[in-house]
C-alpha cells in the first residue's frame, strides 16, 4: 500500500475494513502460561486446569485474547465449514506437529486447498500458549 502511494490514513482505513476477514483459533491444552502472562483471567485458568479442559482462544478486534464458545478444534472446523469461504489459511503449533498436520488435513478437506504453511510458533508465542498448542489462522473471501 505504501508502494502504491497510499497515505497512512488511507492505509489504516483499508486495514480496518479488512480486519474482519482474518481469524485465528488456538487450541491450548493447558492455560498455565496464558494465565501467567495475564492474557487469560486467573479464575478461568484455574477452572480450566482443575477440570483438565482444553480451551480454544481467539483474538477480538481490540487485540485481546478471548475464549471461544467452542470447546474443541473439531467444533471450530465445523463452524468454519458452515459459515466461511476460506481464501487461504495457515497452521501453527508449539511442539505438536502431529495435531498440526491433522488440522491441516481437515482444513484441506473443507477448502480443497493446502495450507500456506505449517510452522512452529516463536519462543515468545510458545511462552504464552505453552507446549502442545495448535492454531489455525485463516482469511475469508
Q: What is the pLDDT of residue 92?
A: 97
Q: Tell me whether residue 3 is in a domain.
A: no
Question: Could you give the count of Cα atoms lying within 13 Å of 39 in the half-sphere of its Cβ?
Answer: 21
Q: What tens-digit pLDDT sequence spans the chain (141 residues)?
A: 899 999 999 998 888 888 888 899 999 888 787 787 776 778 877 887 788 777 888 888 777 778 788 888 999 999 888 877 899 999 999 999 999 999 999 999 999 999 999 999 988 887 778 889 999 999 998
Beta bridge pairs of residue 93: 120, 134
Is 38 in a helix, a strand, or coil? coil
Q: Looking at residue 26, which CATH number applies to its domain? A: 3.30.1180.10
**Count of domains in the chain?**
1
pTM of the model: 0.80
The answer to whether position 76 is within a domain reads yes
Q: Provide the grid cell at 98.
A: 502431529
> What pLDDT is recorded for position 19?
83
Nearest of 131, 111, 113 to residue 123 by alpha carbon: 131
Backbone dihedral angles phi then psi of residue 19, each to the nearest 5 degrees: -55, -40
**Which region holds residue 78: left if phi is over 0, alpha if psi is between -120 and 50, else beta?**
alpha
Whether 125 is in a domain gets the answer yes
**Domain limits for position 101:** 8-140
C-alpha closest to that of 141 among 93, 80, 78? 80
Asked whether the beta carbons of 86 and 107 are under 8 A apart, the reply is yes
pLDDT reported for residue 49: 78
What does the pLDDT read at residue 137?
95
What pLDDT was estimated at residue 136? 96
Amino acid at each position: 500500500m505504501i508502494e502504491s502511494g497510499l497515505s497512512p490514513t488511507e492505509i489504516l482505513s483499508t486495514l480496518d475494513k479488512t480486519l474482519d476477514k482474518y481469524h485465528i483459533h488456538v487450541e491450548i491444552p493447558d492455560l498455565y502460561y496464558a494465565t501467567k502472562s495475564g492474557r487469560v483471567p486467573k479464575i478461568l485458568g484455574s477452572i480450566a486446569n482443575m477440570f483438565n479442559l482444553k480451551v480454544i482462544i481467539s483474538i477480538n478486534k481490540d487485540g485481546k485474547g478471548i475464549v471461544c464458545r467452542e470447546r474443541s478444534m473439531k467444533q471450530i472446523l465445523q463452524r468454519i465449514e458452515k459459515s466461511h469461504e476460506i481464501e487461504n489459511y495457515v497452521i501453527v503449533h508449539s511442539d505438536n506437529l502431529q495435531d498440526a498436520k491433522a488440522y491441516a488435513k481437515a482444513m484441506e478437506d473443507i477448502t480443497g486447498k493446502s495450507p500456506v504453511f505449517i510452522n512452529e510458533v516463536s519462543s515468545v508465542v510458545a511462552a504464552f500458549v505453552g507446549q502442545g498448542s495448535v492454531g489455525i489462522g485463516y482469511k475469508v473471501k
